Amino acid sequence: MKLRTPNSIRALVVAGCVSLLSVTGVAKAADSTAPIVIPIHNWSSQVVMAYVIGGMFESMGSNVEYVPADSQAVYESIRNGDVTISHEVWQSTFGKSFYNAMAKGGVIDAGTHSATTLEEMGVPNWVIEQDLCPGLPNWEALKDCSENFTTADSGGKGRWLEGPQSWHGDLMPERLEALGLADKWTVKFAGGADALWTELASAKKEGRGTIVFNWTPNFTDADGFTFIEFPPYTDGCRKADGGDGKCGSPKGWLKKAANYKFPKTHPAAYTAFTKLDFSTTQIGQMAALVDTDKLDHKDAAAKWLKDNEAVWMPWTK
Ligand code: TMO
């Protein structure tokens, strides 16, 4: 290589600056070293995706911090800046908390995943194959099969095993009332997502009927699970939103949220976060790495990042 004189180096530096300025006007702002705070909730895809996104940010030189957070209260935490992002804003369970916080000022909509969602009561396919509730998945079948779904704790009624109450609040008890099913069915809340998967396994082993809360995208997409078809959702149909409550859950969106300062403090990370977009298959895979393959969440994320560089690396460029 040819040695350069100090003068020619200076000329090169000056030329470089001039050409950069002439293209961009100003140099790019560097991202802050303050940590990007990512919430951890209580279902598998969300936790794996938290570490996937954190890993992506770290690959760009950002600092990241993970905090356990309530999945409703998190939107207020994003609004006031204690948490930076939410990467799985599910319409049915969290749409209201998300928009309530946005209306107060400080939360931005950072885009929508390709995956569409459903968060609904349903049955494993073998319940239908064994004809334990003839007429399913139409909800009206529930008027006539509750005796096949009683449990020790259900007081003679059929049991709906809902997820933790922090997800859907009183939606399901209110829906049973509204649809005239409350004298035949009762809602029990699971302590956590794992209790739903345990119930699916034990009901299958015991050959008894079971109705559980579930969602898609999830690892059960690959397993054979049928969601019950309730009267269609329309905005405002729920009791909590002033409606008569006679509706199922929306075929919904899955959004990303951020604190309003994030684009300013971490422009590169924010840009990548807005480009980031997961499909039904990808989110189902993230859940399956934990719930089917039994990896821990961090190992699942590390594997996902390694196997999918062609998916996420372009978002960082
Ligand atoms: C929020 N969830 C996906 C568990 O319904």
Cis peptide before 35 (omega within 30 of 0): no
Residue with CA closest to ligand 1 atom 3: 215
Mean pLDDT of 100-121: 98
Question: To the nearest whole percent, how much of the chain has pLDDT over 90?
Answer: 90
pLDDT tops 50 at residue 239: yes
| Residue 260 half-sphere exposure toward CB, CA atoms < 13 A | 10
Mean pLDDT of 75-81: 98
Mutate to test the pocket of ligand 1, among 165, 167, 197, 290 (most ligand atoms within 8 A of CB): 167
Mean pLDDT of 107-133: 97
Cα 301 to middle of ligand 1, angstroms: 19
Report which ligand 1 atom has the smallest distance to the Cα of 119: 5
Cα 94 to middle of ligand 1, angstroms: 9
pLDDT class of 130 with cuts at 50, 70, 90: very high
Report which ligand 1 atom has the smallest distance to the Cα of 71: 1
pLDDT tops 50 at residue 75: yes
Report which ligand 1 atom has the smallest distance to the Cα of 43: 4
pLDDT tops 60 at residue 39: yes
Mean pLDDT of 274-286: 98
Superfamily for 118-241?
Glycine betaine-binding periplasmic protein; domain 2 (3.40.190.100)
pLDDT class of 223 with cuts at 50, 70, 90: confident
pLDDT tops 70 at residue 22: no
pTM to 2 decimals?
0.91
Residue with CA closest to ligand 1 atom 4: 43
Written as six digits, the tokens of 102 are 């946005």
Mean pLDDT of 82-110: 98
Mean pLDDT of 57-82: 98
pLDDT of residue 26: 62
pLDDT digits (tens, 9 = 90+) for 148-201: 999 999 999 999 999 999 999 999 999 999 999 999 999 999 999 999 999 999
pLDDT of residue 12: 42
pLDDT tops 70 at residue 234: yes
Average pLDDT score, the chain? 93
Mean pLDDT of 241-265: 98
CATH 3.40.190.100 residue ranges of the chain are 118-241
pLDDT tops 70 at residue 18: no
CA 46 vs. chain centroid, Å, equals 5
Mutate to test the pocket of ligand 1, among 47, 113, 215, 290 (most ligand atoms within 8 A of CB): 215
Amino acid at 192: G
Q: Residue 50 and residue 33: Cα distance in Å, rounded? A: 19
Q: Is the CB of 233 under 6 A from ligand 1?
A: no
Q: Is the CB of 43 under 6 A from ligand 1?
A: yes
pLDDT class of 275 with cuts at 50, 70, 90: very high
pLDDT tops 80 at residue 134: yes
Residues with Cβ within 8 Å of residue 2, at least 6 apart in sequence: none
Domain 32-116+253-316 top-level CATH class = alpha beta
Q: Is the CB of 167 under 6 A from ligand 1?
A: yes
Mean pLDDT of 53-75: 98
Cα 28 to middle of ligand 1, angstroms: 38
Question: To the nearest whole percent, how much of the chain has pLDDT over 70?
Answer: 91
pLDDT class of 255 with cuts at 50, 70, 90: very high
pLDDT class of 11 with cuts at 50, 70, 90: very low
Residues with Cβ within 8 Å of residue 82, at least 6 apart in sequence: 37, 67
pLDDT of residue 25: 56
pLDDT of residue 29: 79
Q: Check if the beta carbon of residue 276 is closer than 8 Å to that of residue 315.
A: yes
Cα 43 to middle of ligand 1, angstroms: 7
pLDDT tops 50 at residue 8: no
Residue with CA closest to ligand 1 atom 5: 119
pLDDT of residue 28: 76
Q: Is the CB of 312 under 6 A from ligand 1?
A: no
Amino acid at 274: T
Q: Is the CB of 213 under 6 A from ligand 1?
A: no
Written as six digits, the tokens of 258 are 């951020």
